Amino acid sequence: MSKNPDKAEKSLRALMDVMAALRHPEEGCAWDLKQDHASIAPYTIEEAYEVAEAIEGGTAEDIRDELGDLLLQVVFQARIAEEAGTFDFAAIADSITAKMIRRHPHIFGEASYRNEAEQREAWEEIKAAERKDKNEGGLLDGIASALPPMTRAVKLQKRAARVGFDWDDPEPVLAKVGEELNEVASELAASPRSDDRLADEIGDLLFAVINLARKSGVDPDAALRRTNGKFTRRFNGVVSRARSEGISMEDAELDQMEAWWTEIKQAEKSR
């Protein structure tokens, strides 16, 4: 429970009043008035990623500010819906409150679980019942197609694994990665080459690599973020080396850039 619920309620009310003013039909902001659910959805996704970035490498103030930006998106969507007469912020809060109570019967009811695995299994069973109530009878129903492809791939794999469509350990998945890599190589060597078939095979390879990460207990999205950061750091190092030697990147030979890259990589590993 919040240490000061009255202050939290007052702060939220102030934010909602700001949004109401921005959406005032005569005195509001022209840009805000033009928006609808669909037009601001990309901003909502962007703000969620910025929250994740702040958590990964920012300060407490950065996290606070980015969470504020994300909360604004919820308030914005709620205001649009309230104007349309479909739902309001209170309905959003009531819905998620009821869902959390329903999904935690060991906290708000009489259920008890022996361990985290048992609790997770019960959570999935409750979610499955909710999907059934929504007439989402298919095993893969309810996994949003708008999710980032990597995130959706993990969710699809996890859902299929719940009914036994999964390997027991990473070794067979590693073999599958090798198989898919060979199929990519075959498409690259084909003459004439089919762009559609190549895209399909590269997609299969990516799906298999994501599956390997999942079976190895690695979050593929987090792993790729780390690699993106590593690439950025090392490439910036290559650029700095080129500048220090008076060579523009456009004029540098690939072999020289590779040599600088290797030196930077080895220096990082020796730390």
Between 19 and 137, whose confidence is greater?
Answer: 19
Containing 242, the helix (H) or strand (E) segment is helix 220-244
Confidence (pLDDT) at 17? 97
pLDDT for residue 69 is more than 90: yes
Residues of the chain with pLDDT > 70: what percent? 98
Confidence (pLDDT) at 136? 64
Q: Give 161: exposed, middle or buried? Use CB within 10 Å, 0-12, 13-18, 19+.
A: middle
**Mean pLDDT, rounded, of the chain:** 93
Containing 53, the helix (H) or strand (E) segment is helix 37-57
pLDDT for residue 270 is more than 90: no
* pLDDT digits 0-9 by tens, 121-167: 888 888 878 877 777 667 888 888 888 899 999 999 999 998 899 99
pLDDT for residue 1 is more than 60: no
Residue 92 contacts residue 78 (beta carbons within 8 Å): yes
* pLDDT digits 0-9 by tens, 204-227: 999 999 999 999 999 999 899 999
